[in-house]
Structures are given as structure tokens and as C-alpha cells.
């Protein structure tokens, strides 16, 4: 999985430096953007009253979905799954359950040593900004360290003896968008976007990347947009210095093992007979239709009028990749 974090999130560490964090386990990155990918690094600074840690259990809160733990040399890795509080849309398929606990066992992390245990996931879209908690339990030969306490709802600043690592969930910055990838059959549709249109405009263009991970060719033949009378697949090219645009009546072929990028000045989908303007910063849902794979619902991020691309990550555009 490709991890996309805001620059601010990747730079923020838990409030205490390591030298002061010896009291409890923490998360290295303690802030995450809702709708974005997240890399959880659990920092374990000591064992159980001088004993080596042999098992580490990490509980996953409802707000983190699509979790994948990283194997660790010398440790056995296992997971426990359970239902999501809110189903997760992964490549157009609703996922109703996933990893709720990660267990690394059979290791030997001496009390005088420090180590990190890693997982990746996605902060579930639609989650409200708040603090969530990732309880951690260390098991030793003769004892445990349980970092599982969560402050009561009425007192977020309550002092706790064994606090669970905290993760602050924040909304995307104003104007920031999170591109999404979608999957239908063997086809991966990446980062759909479009441009805002002036009032009265009758047409607009849609851009994205399609990757065929299968062994058979397929064709993009069309799609729909709620505010458009119809959607066509077009190609723009230059002939003797003149820009020409034509409809691909047979659709756009995506050969097996190859990617085709739809972008300004090249292949694109054309929104015809627009009933209202496309507005910058206001995503719009639609569908794409493929000859073999069928129809898939996607969401276009909307860039300002005249944009040549969506803003790069870190300047208002995050990247979101599901697997």
C-alpha cells in the first residue's frame, strides 16, 4: 500500500520525546487526516518491571479501517477480525469487517531495549474530528503492561496511570481534497478529477488513470454524471499545429498490464449538456462504463477553472490508495 500523509501529520510526533516517553507505549505519528491513509508506529520503550516483552497486542479502533500489519523478524504475526461500525467502501465494494486486533508474539524485547511495531490503515471517511485511542498490551513471562485507559467523555484531560496511545483525527484542510482509487474487476481507476466550469458552460472534461491488472483487454465506453445529459470518451490531438478533438465511438482500449492516463490535451471523458456548473472543491459522483468489467461508481475531485492538474499533495491535494 502506498501511504499518503499530510506533511504536518508526518512531522508530528507524540508530545513527549523518547527520553520522556519511557513511562508508556505511544504512537510516533499522533495525528491523521480523515479519509487519508495512516501509518501507525507503536513505540515500545520498556518491558514489564524489568522483564522482556514477549507479546504485543494492539487494538484497532473503529475509526481505522483496511488495516495491514507489518511482519516483524523474530515475531509471529496474527490478527483478529470483527465487524466495522460503519462499512468501508474499498474500490467500489463495501467491506463490512476487518482487522480489529494485531498480535505480535514469540519475540524477546529486553527491558533495556526499544522497538517499534508497524501497521497501515485508512481513517474511515465520514469520521468526525476527534481523539481516538489505540490500546496496547505488553505481555511478559510473569506480568503485563496494559496501556488501555481512555479518559472519560466529560474530562478529556483526566490524568491516567496507564493511558492508551492517542490519535487525533483531523479534517482535511480547507480546499484540500483526497483523491481515491477504485477497482472493478481487473481495472484500477486512479484519482478522478475535473475542472470547475463557468456559469452557462455546456461541457466539461474528466481526467483519471486506468490500469489493467488482468490478462484481457477492456474498453472504456462511457459513463454518467448526474448533471450531464451524456458522457462521451474523447481524444484530443494535434494535426499540423491544429488541436483536434474526436469522439472514440468504439471506446478507449486498456490493454492487459498497461495503464492509460486521461488528462488535459489527450484522452478524456467529456461531460455533455451540463445542467449546472461544476464547482471547485465540491466533489461530484458519477459512473464509468467498461465493455467487459461493467459499471463502477467513482467521485471526481473538482479543481479550479483552467487548472492543468489537481494541486499536488501538500498544497491541497492528498492521495488515498486502498488495497
Ranges 23-27, 128-132, 144-148, 220-224: which has the least confidence: 23-27
| Whether the predicted pLDDT of 163 surpasses 90 | yes
Cβ-Cβ contacts under 8 Å for 234 (sequence gap 6 or more): 205, 245, 246, 247, 248, 267, 268, 269, 270
The CA distance from 286 to 280, in Å, is 16
Q: Is 159 exposed, middle or buried (0-12, 13-18, 19+ CB in 10 A)?
A: exposed
Residue with cell 473538482: 302
More confident residue, 77 or 321: 77
Q: Which residues contact 291 (CB under 8 A, 6 or more apart)?
A: 218, 219, 221, 251
HSE-up of residue 264 (Cα within 13 Å, Cβ side):
11
- Mean pLDDT confidence for 270-283: 91
Section 92-113 average pLDDT: 92
Q: The whole model's pTM is what?
A: 0.52
Q: Closest Cα to residue 221, out of 212, 229, 233, 207?
A: 233
Instruction: Say if residue 269's pLDDT is above 50.
Output: yes
* pLDDT (average), residues 281-291: 92
Task: Give residue-wise pLDDT tens across range 301-323.
Answer: 888 887 777 654 333 333 333 33
| Cα 204 to Cα 132: distance, rounded to the nearest angstrom | 41
Name the residue among 62, 25, 16 with its Cα closest to residue 43: 25
Under the banding of pLDDT at 50, 70 and 90, the label for residue 257 is very high
Contacts of 165 (CB under 8 A, 6+ apart): 14, 24, 25, 26, 27, 30, 42, 133, 134, 135, 136, 147
Say whether pLDDT at 48 is over 50: yes
Least confident range of 12-21, 99-108, 125-134, 228-237: 12-21
Q: pLDDT confidence of 110, banded at 50, 70, 90?
A: very high
The more confident residue out of 2 and 112 is 112
pLDDT band at 101 (very low <50, low <70, confident <90, very high): very high
Helices (H), 182-263: none
Structure confidence at residue 311 (pLDDT): 52
Does position 44 have pLDDT exceeding 70, yes or no?
yes
Question: In this predicted model, what pLDDT tens digit does every residue of 290-306 receive, in sequence order?
Answer: 999 999 999 998 888 87
**What pLDDT was estimated at residue 179?**
63
Residue 303 is predicted with a pLDDT of 83
Strand 93-109 relative to strand 76-90, pairing: antiparallel
Span 245-258, average pLDDT: 94
pLDDT in tens, 186-204: 999 999 999 999 989 999 9
How high is the pLDDT of residue 316? 34
Give 92's pLDDT tier (boundaries 50, 70, 90).
Answer: low
Q: Of residues 229 and 19, which shows the higher confidence score?
A: 229
Three cell numbers, residue 293: 468489467
Cα gap 297→182, rounded to integer Å: 8
123 pLDDT more than 50? yes
Mean pLDDT value across residues 17-44 = 78
pLDDT digits (tens, 9 = 90+) for 231-243: 999 998 877 778 8
- Sign of the Cα torsion 156, 157, 161, 166 reads positive
The pLDDT mean for the chain works out to 84
7-170 matches 178-319 in fold: yes
| CATH class belonging to 178-319 | mainly beta
- 139 touches 147 (CB < 8 A): no
* Domain 7-170: CATH class, spelled out: mainly beta
Which 3-state string (H, E, C) describes 150-196? CCCCCCCCCCCCCECCEEEEECCCCCCEEECEEEECCEEEEEEEEEC
What residues does each domain of the chain span? Answer: 7-170, 178-319
Amino acid at each position: 500500500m502506498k501511504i499518503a500523509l499530510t506533511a504536518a501529520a508526518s512531522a508530528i510526533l507524540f508530545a513527549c520525546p523518547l527520553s520522556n516517553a519511557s513511562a508508556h507505549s505511544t504512537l510516533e505519528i499522533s495525528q491523521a487526516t480523515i479519509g487519508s491513509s495512516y501509518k501507525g508506529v507503536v513505540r515500545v520503550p520498556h518491558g514489564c518491571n524489568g522483564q522482556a516483552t514477549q507479546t504485543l497486542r494492539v487494538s484497532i479502533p473503529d475509526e481505522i479501517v483496511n488495516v495491514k500489519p507489518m511482519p516483524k523478524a523474530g515475531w509471529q504475526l496474527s490478527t483478529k477480525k470483527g465487524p466495522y461500525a460503519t462499512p468501508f467502501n474499498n474500490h467500489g465494494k463495501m467491506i463490512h469487517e476487518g482487522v480489529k486486533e494485531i498480535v505480535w508474539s514469540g519475540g524477546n524485547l529486553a527491558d533495556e531495549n526499544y522497538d517499534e511495531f508497524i501497521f497501515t490503515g485508512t481513517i474511515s471517511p465520514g469520521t468526525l474530528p476527534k481523539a481516538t485511542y489505540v490500546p496496547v498490551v505488553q505481555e511478559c513471562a510473569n506480568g503485563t503492561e496494559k496501556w488501555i485507559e481512555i479518559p472519560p467523555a466529560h474530562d478529556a484531560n483526566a490524568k491516567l496511570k496507564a493511558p492508551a496511545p492517542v490519535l487525533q483525527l483531523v479534517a482535511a484542510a480547507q480546499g484540500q481534497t483526497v483523491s481515491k482509487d477504485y477497482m472493478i474487476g481487473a481495472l484500477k481507476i486512479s484519482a478522478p478529477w475535473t475542472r470547475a466550469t463557468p456559469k452557462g458552460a455546456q461541457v466539461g472534461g474528466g481526467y483519471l488513470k486506468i490500469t489493467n491488472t488482468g490478462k484481457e483487454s477492456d474498453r472504456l465506453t462511457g459513463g454518467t454524471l448526474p448533471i450531464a445529459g451524456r458522457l462521451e470518451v474523447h481524444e484530443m490531438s494535434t494535426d499540423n499545429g491544429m488541436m483536434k478533438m474526436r469522439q472514440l465511438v468504439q471506446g478507449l482500449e486498456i490493454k492487459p498490464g498497461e495503464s492509460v492516463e486521461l488528462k488535459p490535451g489527450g484522452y478524456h471523458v467529456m461531460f455533455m449538456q451540463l445542467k449546472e456548473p461544476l464547482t471547485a472543491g465540491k466533489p461530484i459522483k458519477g459512473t464509468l462504463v467498461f465493455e467487459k468489467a461493467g459499471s463502477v461508481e467513482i467521485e471526481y475531485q473538482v479543481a479550479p477553472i483552467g487548472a492543468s492538474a489537481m494541486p499536488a499533495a501538500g498544497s491541497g491535494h492528498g492521495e488515498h490508495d486502498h488495497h
